[in-house]
Structure 1
Amino acid sequence: MSGKSYLPIGTVIFATLFLLQGCGFHLRGAADLPASISPVQIQGLGEYDALRLELTQLLEGNSIDVVDKRAQASSQLRVSSSSSRRVLSVDGGGKVAEYELHESAKFTLVSAEGHKLVSEQSIDLIQTYLNTEDEILGKQQEESLLRKDMQRDLASRLLRRLQSQL
């Protein structure tokens, strides 16, 4: 050997985890929500709405029960969302070259007694993608995946907003 010393991999991993812990790093979706809002009812989104499913998963992952009936809930998370797509640019032949995707949500958290725990807020996300004419099926899948990622990001941001307000 040439006299170089190497750190064992375990030491490097431990040091990295220690640094991440010290800087306030948390796993995505991890939020410190008060137990007093549990159980929560999500209002305004359909049963199989992608945002509702993401919110339910994140809330339950943070030890907040999600219920369907208002009578069982300690609080209601009132959410409305919208999705849209618009043409961002066209090529020389008049074909769409780029799209812009919009996802937005408005929300408020209300106690069972009707008191606002978190005032109404909105979250808006925008994502662009190129539209090449020769990859039509791939671009449809790309848009679907982008929307799913945007829904996941909306839910995560909504939870972080709840955490900061409560």
Structure 2
Amino acid sequence: MTMSRGILRNALAALLLMLLVACGFQLRGEVELPPELSSVTVKVADAYSPLKRNLEDALARAGARAQAAQGPVAVLDISRNRMSRWPLSVGRTGRVQEFSMRYEVTMQLTDADGEIVVPKQDIQLERAYQFETLQAQGTPGEEEVVRAELERDMTQAILRRISAAVATP
């Protein structure tokens, strides 16, 4: 009886795997940049923002080189880069129990010839997190985790916009 359950379980797993393959699912790969975007400079309103470093690293993985000493380069311009937080809920004692953090970016990408590849657009990401008043020592760590996740997600959101723009004929 246990042998038939094992066979049934394996058959079910194989069926689910075939359905997953048949639906066209594939992991999202790195962005591949066209030749006109092979040399990109990232300009961020806050030059010391982690977003600048994250974007430069992600673009390098996509095949872009750092700005060349001479010649035209594509420019990824991040004109607004703002993180803000505000209370979402307040408990019976009047203390904040939940915060929301929003990351707002305005971006535009022009190629080496000055042509606009990705027009100026706003991207907003938002996350909520709990604020435990009894465990206030651990709460700043949670806020930093949410902040780091938003920065990583914003990098991916910008790259997806670039990927969609260069994939469109």
TM-score between the two structures when normalised by the length of structure 1: 0.81
For CA contacts below 8 A with separation 6 or more, give which structure has more relative contact order: 1
* Other-structure match for 2:25: 23
* Other-structure match for 1:83: 83
Distance in 2 between the 1:73 and 1:135 partners? Answer: 53
C-alpha displacement of 1:72: 5.1
C-alpha displacement of 1:117: 1.8
Do the aligned partners of 2:74 and 2:112 also contact (CA within 8 Å) in 1?
A: yes
* Other-structure match for 1:49: 49
Do the aligned partners of 2:105 and 2:124 also contact (CA within 8 Å) in 1?
A: yes
TM-score between the two structures when normalised by the length of structure 2: 0.80
Q: Secondary structure at the match of 1:63?
A: coil
Distance in 2 between the 1:135 and 1:72 partners? Answer: 55
Residues 140 and 147 of structure 1: CA distance in aligned 2, closer, same or farther (over 3 Å):
same
Residues 47 and 68 of structure 1: CA distance in aligned 2, closer, same or farther (over 3 Å):
farther
* Aligned: 1:135 with 2:135: yes
C-alpha displacement of 1:73: 4.9
* Other-structure match for 1:93: 93
Give the aligned CA root-mean-square deviation in angstroms.
2.7
Name structure 2 gaps, 5 residues minimum: none
User: Number of paired residues?
Assistant: 158
Do the aligned partners of 1:38 and 1:73 also contact (CA within 8 Å) in 2?
A: no
Letter in 1 for 2:97: A
**Residue by residue, what CA displacement relative to the aligned partner does 1:46-100 show, whole Å, maximum 9, x if unpaired?**
443111111111111111123386x555200000210000011111111111101
Name structure 1 gaps, 5 residues minimum: none
Percentage of matched positions with identical amino acids: 22
Residues 73 and 46 of structure 1: CA distance in aligned 2, closer, same or farther (over 3 Å):
farther
Distance in 2 between the 1:110 and 1:95 partners? Answer: 47
**Residue by residue, what CA displacement relative to the aligned partner does 1:19-63 show, whole Å, maximum 9, x if unpaired?**
299424324xx1132132121000124443111111111111111
**Where do 4+ consecutive residues of structure 1 move more than 4 Å?**
3-7
* Aligned: 1:125 with 2:125: yes
Letter in 2 for 1:76: V
